[in-house]
């Protein structure tokens, strides 16, 4: 069973952890957005879902093996760090609404992070 995942930070195309460079390869579905607030965690972001602001990102169709790799990258498996949780939520992808997996920053870590004024990590991402 494949999964849809919404990526909004370093997993976006051209970023440090570009999902397109992972194996097995993902399938790009489209540009998307979700209601939430974006936070800076230094060189990478976190999102808290809800509110009125839109966070920009990309949706990919990924196999279970890649989802397991992302769980490790986001430190929710094999031993959770408590920084992120993987949740399912509805995102807007063009005219469509898709239910996607998304790595959400936990409330505890959000309170220790800088809230960003806009919801596009590419406007803040450090350049390599």
Rg over alpha carbons for the chain, rounded to the nearest Å, is 13
Nearest Cα to 33, choosing from 107, 105, 100? 100
Per DSSP, what are the bridge partners of residue 5? 60, 101
Q: Coil, strand or helix: which one is 90?
A: strand
- CA dist 100 and 108 (Å) reads 23
The CA-based angle 112-76-59, given to 5 degrees, is 90
pLDDT, block means (10 residues), the chain with 128 residues: 95 96 96 98 96 97 97 95 97 96 97 95 79
Q: Which domains does the chain have, with CATH numbers?
A: 3-122 (3.10.490.10)
pLDDT of residue 1: 81
Burial group, residue 121, by CB count within 10 angstroms (0-12, 13-18, 19+): buried
Model pLDDT, residue 127: 58
Q: Beta strands of 12-119 (E only): which ranges?
A: 27-40, 45-62, 84-93, 96-105, 114-115
8 Å CB contact between 73 and 17 = yes
**Which pLDDT score is estimated for 121?**
96
């Amino acid at each position: 069973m494949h999964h849809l995942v919404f990526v909004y930070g370093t997993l976006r195309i051209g970023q440090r952890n570009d999902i397109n460079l992972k194996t097995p390869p993902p399938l790009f579905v489209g540009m998307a957005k979700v209601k939430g607030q974006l936070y800076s965690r230094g060189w990478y972001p976190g999102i808290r879902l809800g509110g009125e602001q839109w966070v920009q990102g990309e949706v990919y169709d990924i196999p279970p093996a890649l989802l397991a790799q992302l769980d490790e990258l986001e430190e929710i498996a094999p031993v959770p760090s408590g920084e992120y949780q993987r949740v399912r939520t509805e995102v807007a992808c063009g005219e469509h609404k898709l239910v996607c997996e998304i790595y959400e920053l936990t409330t505890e870590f959000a309170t220790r992070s800088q809230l960003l004024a806009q919801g596009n990590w590419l406007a803040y991402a450090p350049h390599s």
